[in-house]
A and B are shown apart, each in its own frame.
Chain A
Amino acid sequence: MNGVKNMIEVKNLKKQFDEVTVLESIDFTVEKGDVVCLIGPSGSGKTTLLRCLNLLETPNAGSITISDKTVSFDNRKGLSKKEVKELRSFSGMVFQGFHLFPHKTVMENIIEAPLIVKKQDKKKLTAEGERLLTKVGMLEHRDKYPDSLSGGQQQRAAIARALMMNPEVMLFDEPTSALDPQLVGEVLRVIEELAKEGQTMVIVTHEMNFARRIADKILFMDGGYILESGPPAEVLENPKEARTREFLQLLDE
């Protein structure tokens, strides 16, 4: 494989919806233990890129490598279920809208997939679930239904749900964009905690201060391209590209 350190390697990735090109020859790598933040204006393709990593969208060309599994999309009509499942097994996804299962309690939510997909023992899963719920500060809510929880609580439960599958990489799609402002902090703290533990993560975010604190690398996207990438000190403080400067300025106002 290419280097021991690379956890994610994306090569020449393209994605079109009908006639519209959303991602144009995307190349980047994520090292093991790194936190990469995707920033950029809406419609720049960052969410689509993240969804491609989890194969919620199927790219039209290029390749994605996560851990030691490579899937190439060149000259392909469709992917095999096995391929999709295998690549997905390396990543856990956290959505902007949480998408907890409303008919299941918090505990049922987080043990559902390992119970059904991996057929693991329920007792062990519950113990592991308790450990993760403690970590995200949700243990006291283990038997509640999502509808009775705040957005911040739901999102923290959703993070625990993704972690239950032991992903190599955690993918966050604007994890705090649907939250009331006073609930943003509690979710960001959980993500920072994960970063400290060395969890590899890719995060689409509009929280620039958070990105500055947590990211090892920032990717600035616009119009389906990665225009600029580098450590936060470079991209956020001394952007080379005019578009990046423009974008950051708009955020400051």
Chain B
Amino acid sequence: MIEWFSNIQWEHLYNPQLAWDSLPFLLEGLRITMIISLFSMFFALILGIFIGIARMSKFWFLRIPARIYISFMRGTPLLVFIFILYYGLPVIGVQFNSAVVAGIVGISLNFAAYNAEVVRSAIMSVPRGQWEAASSLQMGYVQTMQRIIIPQATRIALPPTFNIFMDVVKGTSLASVITVQELLYSSRVVAGRTYDSMTMYITAALIYWVVCIVIGHFQERLEKRYNRYLSRR
């Protein structure tokens, strides 16, 4: 124990100067990370809403494919899926002209499945009485969905959706293995050059953390807005 403690290379544990000097380079990586994150979450949300609603459809030809899709995406690692897209698809002549695009496609398609489940559970958790009240007032399916159910489901879906958003941001690091020069990739470049892995990866971790704090702050503000009609809290 004492031996282990005295052998720690304190000067390599964290080198603030190196972190500071490489910050501009890392932030360039962060820019790519954010581009992938925002596009991926955007597409994953839109796709997720459609898949989630299809999953609840009374038509089997919508419900069954949605179910299989969700099952596959939830049941396979994102990294494997990205490999299939980037290294596998060229076999059948589909080639992404940039790794960034492959990353966005992979992450969007994968996280759409999680969003679909959030959409489904949020809609299902709006009490049945809301549907009944609306239909006794002669409101139709689309009107009820639009004006009564979705506004309430959105409130319920906010926290899990923001969880997914954070997972998306962190998941973009997987794109580094298909040579996308995002935050993790940039950190690894510097770490390889300086042999100071600890400093670089801790810095990368801190940057991811800050991004997620900002996202969490945004979530809080949205939740407050959507909770304003509840008397408690």
Chain A residue at minimum C-beta to C-beta distance from B155: A103
A117 at the interface (CB under 8 A from B): yes
A223 at the interface (CB under 8 A from B): no
Q: List the B side residues contacting A158 at CB < 8 Å.
A: 133
Q: Are B231 and A145 in contact (CB under 8 A)?
A: yes
- 8 closest A-B pairs by beta carbon, nearest first, are A113-B137, A99-B133, A93-B136, A99-B129, A145-B229, A148-B231, A147-B231, A117-B138
| A–B pairs, 16, beta carbons within 8 Å | A56-B132, A89-B138, A93-B133, A95-B132, A100-B133, A102-B229, A103-B152, A103-B155, A112-B137, A112-B147, A116-B147, A117-B138, A117-B139, A145-B231, A161-B137, A162-B136
B135 at the interface (CB under 8 A from A): yes
Q: Contact string, B117-137, partner A, CB cutoff 8 A, digits 1/0?
A: 000000000010110111111
Chain B residue at minimum C-beta to C-beta distance from A94: B136
- Beyond A101-B130, A116-B147: 15 further Cβ-contacts under 8 Å? A56-B136, A95-B132, A99-B127, A99-B133, A100-B133, A102-B230, A103-B155, A104-B229, A145-B228, A145-B231, A146-B229, A147-B229, A147-B230, A161-B137, A165-B138
Q: Assuming the A-B contacts A56-B135, A99-B132, A101-B148, are A81 and B231 also in contact, with contact meaning beta carbons closer than 8 angstroms in the complex?
A: no
B143 at the interface (CB under 8 A from A): yes
Q: Are B137 and A165 in contact (CB under 8 A)?
A: yes
- Closest Cβ of chain A to B213, distance in Å, is 29
User: Which of the listed residues A104, A112, A146 has the most CB atoms from chain B within 10 Å of its own CB?
Assistant: A112
Interface of B is mostly: helix
Scan residues 191-233 of chain B and give those whose CB is less than 8 A from a CB of chain A: 228-232
Q: List the A side residues contacting B231 at CB < 8 Å.
A: 145, 147-148
A11 at the interface (CB under 8 A from B): no
Give A contacts to B, CB under 8 Å: 54, 56, 81, 85, 88-89, 91-93, 95, 97, 99-104, 112-113, 116-117, 145-148, 158, 161-162, 165
Cα distance A112–B134 in the bound complex, in angstroms: 9
Scan residues 25-68 of chain B and give those whose CB is less than 8 A from a CB of chain A: none
Q: List the A side residues contacting B135 at CB < 8 Å.
A: 56, 88
Give B contacts to A, CB under 8 Å: 127, 129-130, 132-140, 143, 147-148, 151-152, 155, 228-232
Cα distance A161–B148 in the bound complex, in angstroms: 15
Q: List the B side residues contacting A100 at CB < 8 Å.
A: 133
Cα distance A19–B133 in the bound complex, in angstroms: 27
Q: Are A88 and B138 in contact (CB under 8 A)?
A: yes
Cα distance A88–B228 in the bound complex, in angstroms: 33
Chain B residue at minimum C-beta to C-beta distance from A93: B136
Cα distance A92–B92 in the bound complex, in angstroms: 61
Chain B residue at minimum C-beta to C-beta distance from A96: B129
Q: Are B143 and A97 in contact (CB under 8 A)?
A: no
Q: Assuming the A-B contacts A113-B137, A116-B139, A161-B137, are A103 and B129 also in contact, with contact meaning beta carbons closer than 8 angstroms in the complex?
A: no
Q: Are A113 and B139 in contact (CB under 8 A)?
A: yes
Q: Are A117 and B137 in contact (CB under 8 A)?
A: yes
Cα distance A162–B229 in the bound complex, in angstroms: 22
Q: List the A side residues contacting B134 at CB < 8 Å.
A: 101, 113
Q: Are A88 and B229 in contact (CB under 8 A)?
A: no
- Closest Cβ of chain B to A98, distance in Å, is 8
Q: List the A side residues contacting B132 at CB < 8 Å.
A: 56, 93, 95, 99
Chain A residue at minimum C-beta to C-beta distance from B128: A99
Cα distance A3–B151 in the bound complex, in angstroms: 46
Q: Are B136 and A88 in contact (CB under 8 A)?
A: yes
